[in-house]
Amino acid sequence: MGAHTLRRVKANDFVISLRSFQGGIEWSGIEGAITFHYVVLTPIKHVYEPFFAHLFKSIAYIQALRSTTNLIRDGQDLRFSHFVQVDLPIIPLPEQRTIASFLDTETSKIDALVSEQRRLIELLKEKRQAVISHAVTKGLDPDVPMKDSGIEWLGEVPEGWEVGPLKRFWSVTDCKHVTAEFVDEGGIPLASIREVQSKWVELSEAKRTTQEFYDLLIGGGRQPQVGDLIFSRNATVGEVAQVKIDTPQFAMGQDVCLMRRIHRDSSPDYWQHLIKSTEVVEQMSVLMVGATFKRINVDEIRNLSVVSPPLDEQTVIAEFLDIKVERFDSLIAQAERAIELLQERRTALISAAVTGKIDVRQFATEETVA
């Protein structure tokens, strides 16, 4: 892109993204250049930049901006003419400074709490992953005799456990590479990557197809059965969901494959946890291809190295992990909800302060005393 197509931005200018009305107005602290997709606002007077940095992110301003156009719903660009329709408050500079200082202090506290919750979520996920990986590769009995797995990265596994490629224990069948016809009402659901993001295949929001395409898609032993696993091999590689007893009939859509027990002495619950273990996830990460959307080939899935305990141990491990994972997921959900509430509090605080709905003069007094 030539230099003549760029626009200069000076320190303390505001930059407007014409493609994003919400959060698309940023205060620049440095000098630089932008493309023609942006507009530069240079403060002239009555402007304390940190105050307006908060104002432009407030709900009141965003709603006022939204009311100037319906182009947003059509996915079209905003124009500068829409921004100039929104009146801006003329507030004495000392009050702007006080409000900005108050918001900088209070939002930084909220941001710190959000960061703590996000770090907690990371730690919980790491701990959950460690518990899963240890249980499915070492078992639950710390005193059980161990043997060399023959795989360097796996190390020792309990005696009596088998080690080998996934295809020794489960068949892996790719979906039909057919673009099905979708219907708005009725029809038979299709499970693609969106439907395999939790323990069970979830079809409530699934796209639906005709009986003719359903018959085509389930050909070659592809009709899902109770206890099968539907595995995402594209984009969300490694997500896997189980077909439970009351799942209505469905077919595989694109980007997933069907895993089926070769022998009945396999617990789908155990294998579902195993596939999500660090040992299997790391194998897949090496094998995935694609720059934008990662994917893995079916033959490579079949040859993933896995460990298989006797059925009674699989059952015990799966029951143990179901309880543990549910607890971790509950704690993670609580932390995610805390983040939502903190962010709502942050947004409400900014809007209240920049519109004068809360009096922050006491804050200025306290700062002076301090």
pLDDT value at position 4?
Answer: 55
Cα–Cα distances in angstroms (integers) from residue 177 to residues 191, 225, 303, in the given order: 14, 20, 22
pLDDT value at position 19?
Answer: 59
Q: How far apart are CA 154 and CA 291, in angstroms?
A: 29
pLDDT value at position 53?
Answer: 86
Q: How far apart are CA 220 and CA 301, in angstroms?
A: 19
Q: How far apart are CA 26 and CA 15, in angstroms?
A: 5
pLDDT value at position 134?
Answer: 96
Greatest alpha-carbon pair distance for the chain in Å reads 79
Q: Classify residue 187 as left (phi > 0), alpha (psi -120 to 50) or beta.
A: left
- Residue 56 host element (H or E): none
Confirm if 252 and 191 have CB atoms less than 8 A apart.
Answer: yes
pLDDT value at position 65?
Answer: 78
Assigned token pair, 147: 């043997």
pLDDT tens profile 146-170: 999 999 889 999 999 999 999 999 9
pLDDT value at position 71?
Answer: 53
Domains and CATH numbers, the chain: 1-90 (3.90.220.20), 99-143+310-370 (1.10.287), 162-308 (3.90.220.20)
pLDDT tens profile 113-158: 999 999 999 999 999 999 999 999 999 999 999 999 999 889 999 9
Q: How far apart are CA 111 and CA 116, in angstroms?
A: 9
Q: How far apart are CA 202 and CA 195, in angstroms?
A: 5
- Residue 5 host element (H or E): none
Enumerate residue ranges in the chain where pLDDT < 50. 1-2, 72, 74-75, 369-370
pTM here is 0.81
Q: Bridge-partner residues for 260, per DSSP?
A: 171
Q: How far apart are CA 85 and CA 65, in angstroms?
A: 8
pLDDT value at position 365?
Answer: 55
Q: How far apart are CA 34 and CA 10, in angstroms?
A: 11
Q: DSSP 3-state assignment of 112?
A: helix
pLDDT value at position 2?
Answer: 47
Q: Bridge-partner residues for 146, per DSSP?
A: 158
pLDDT value at position 367?
Answer: 55
